[in-house]
Amino acid sequence: MQLARAAVLNADGTFSIEQFAVPRSLDGAVIEVEACGLCGTDLDVASGSLPIRTPLIPGHEPVGRILSIAENYAQTTGLKVGDRVVVPAELHCGECAGCRADESCLASPGTHGFLPTTLSPGLWGGFAEAMVLSPQTRPLRMGTSAPLQRASLFNLLGAGWSWAVEAPHLQSGQSVVVLGPGQRGLACVLAATSIGANVIAVTGLGSRDQQKLAVALALGAENVFDAETSDIESEILRVAPDGVDVIIDTTPHSTDAVTHAMNLVAPGGTIVIAGLKGAPVPFFSTDTLALRRITLRGVRSVTRSGFRNALTMIESGDERLDLLHTHHFDIEHVQDAIDTLRDDPSAIAVSLGRAL
Ligand SMILES: [Zn+2]
């Protein structure tokens, strides 16, 4: 491949399809992008509500095949031309404690999908036919047997594992409530049920989340509750009178969700906060944490072990994954992909890329 087309986000918020030269000599690698997942961050990037440098090729959840790779980089990563890889977006400094332990970098020097095209060679994002991996990128190899719509789920599945299983040290048989049925909330349901935990409830907004709540039930949730029309605290306490072992809050902007979690968690239980609120939680009491020995965990993005477990789940052939992937577009229709993820109530996981 000598030229690659890419969806470039311009300063005025519009996308244009542009061609870029695919570099031949490099110190990292080039992948042919097969698919790139979208998430809420892409909506924020496209709407201009995040500080970004344009022009920019977004896309930070890519899966693809290695087209070319520098010798040193091949040695350090163990990868070769033709391998299918998934690309965790954050670059690694290589020196911090996280990098040395092969975990997430604690001082990431940059992120794929957020580097401007003015930084040579420009192809830094996944909304493109090809993408350049910096030597500071740490991709993971994935088997080639999984269908692309499942492979493209690696990022949200990794988040589900990191947030629902790792962060609260979830055990088989424990009770779990997931607040918010978005793509990551549903991935939490999948991760929790996969280790034998009991997802006793998933909550959502009935006016727009009906289809997602139906998917939550299909993934193994025992109950779903509409936070708009019912009192979710009394509904959940009806099925868990002693409280809930682990509550994962994936809702954005809802401080009420944190209050509900504090009222519902069992003594000694854990609340995981994944959704950003943009505001403090009113009347939040650390006394409640202390007196009831509650663990409160904040989580952000995906751990390396979360990615590895996502790859295992994808390669296992679990057909429930197909419930999560709902829409796929080619890069010319990048705006349609963004509009669909934002506005279509049936959209869960949305991807861009070559034909499935
Ligand atoms: Zn680091």
The reply to whether 182 falls in a domain is: yes
Report CA(101)–ligand 1 centroid distance (Å). 9
The C-alpha atoms of residue 218 and residue 114 are separated, in whole angstroms, by: 35
Report the domain count for the chain.
Answer: 2
pLDDT of 322 reads 96
State in Å: Cα 337 to ligand 1 middle: 33
CATH no. for residue 232?
3.40.50.720
Residue 29 lies in a domain: yes
- Same domain flag for 144 and 168: no
The pLDDT tens digits for 205-253 are: 999 999 999 999 999 999 999 999 999 999 999 999 999 999 999 998 8
**Per the domain annotation, does 313 fall within a domain?**
no
For residues 205 and 225, give the distance between their C-alpha atoms in angstroms, rounded to a whole number: 8
Q: Is residue 308 part of a domain?
A: no
Same domain, 147 and 180: no
Query: Looking at the domain assignment, is residue 80 inside a domain?
Result: yes
Q: Which DSSP string corresponds to 69-128?
A: E-HHHHHHH---TT-EEE--SB---SSSHHHHTTS--SS---BTTSSBTTSTT---SSSB
For the stretch 297-333, pLDDT in tens is 999 889 999 999 999 999 999 999 999 999 999 999 9
Same structural domain, 98 and 197: no
pLDDT tens for 135-166 read 999 999 999 999 999 999 999 999 999 999 99
Q: 137 and 78: one domain?
A: yes
Q: What average pLDDT does this structure show over 257-266?
A: 97
Provide the percentage of residues in the chain whose pLDDT is more than 90.
Answer: 94
Distance 95 CA to ligand 1 centre (A): 5
Please indicate, yes or no, if residue 317 is contained in any of the structural domains. Answer: no
What tens digit of pLDDT does each residue of 127-142 get? 999 999 999 999 999 9
Q: What is the dihedral of CA 285, 288, 294, 297, to 10 degrees?
A: 0
Same domain, 254 and 188: yes
Q: Are residues 174 and 294 in the same domain?
A: yes
pLDDT tens digits, one per residue of 10-41? 999 999 999 999 998 789 999 999 999 999 99
SS3 percent helix, strand, coil of the chain, rounded to 5, is: 30, 25, 40
Same-domain check for residues 148 and 25: yes
Residue that the structure tokens 């954050």 belong to? 90
Same domain? For 88 and 223 the reply is no
Residue 329 belongs to some domain of the structure: yes
CA of 186 to the centre of ligand 1 (A): 30
Distance 138 CA to ligand 1 centre (A): 11
Q: Which domain holds residue 32?
A: 3-153+324-353
Distance 137 CA to ligand 1 centre (A): 11
Q: Do residues 57 and 139 both lie within one domain? A: yes
Give the CATH number of the domain where residue 12 resides: 3.90.180.10
3-state SS assignment for residue 56 = strand
Question: 98: CA distance to ligand 1 center in Å?
Answer: 6
* Residue 78 is assigned to a structural domain of this protein: yes
Q: Which residue has the tokens 């020196």?
A: 95
Which amino acid is located at 101 in the chain? A
Do 231 and 185 lie in one domain? The reply is yes
Please enumerate in sequence order all residues whose Cβ is within 8 A of that of 120, keeping only pairs 6 or more positions apart, or say none: none
Give the model's pLDDT for residue 24.
Answer: 84
Whether 261 and 179 map to the same domain: the answer is yes
Distance 116 CA to ligand 1 centre (A): 22
Q: Are residues 55 and 130 in the same domain?
A: yes
Q: How far is the CA of 126 from the centre of ligand 1 (A)?
A: 22
CB under 5 Å of ion ligand 1: residues: 93, 96, 99, 105
- Is the model's pLDDT at 104 over the cut of 90? no
Residue 39 CA to ligand 1 centre (angstroms): 24
pTM: 0.95
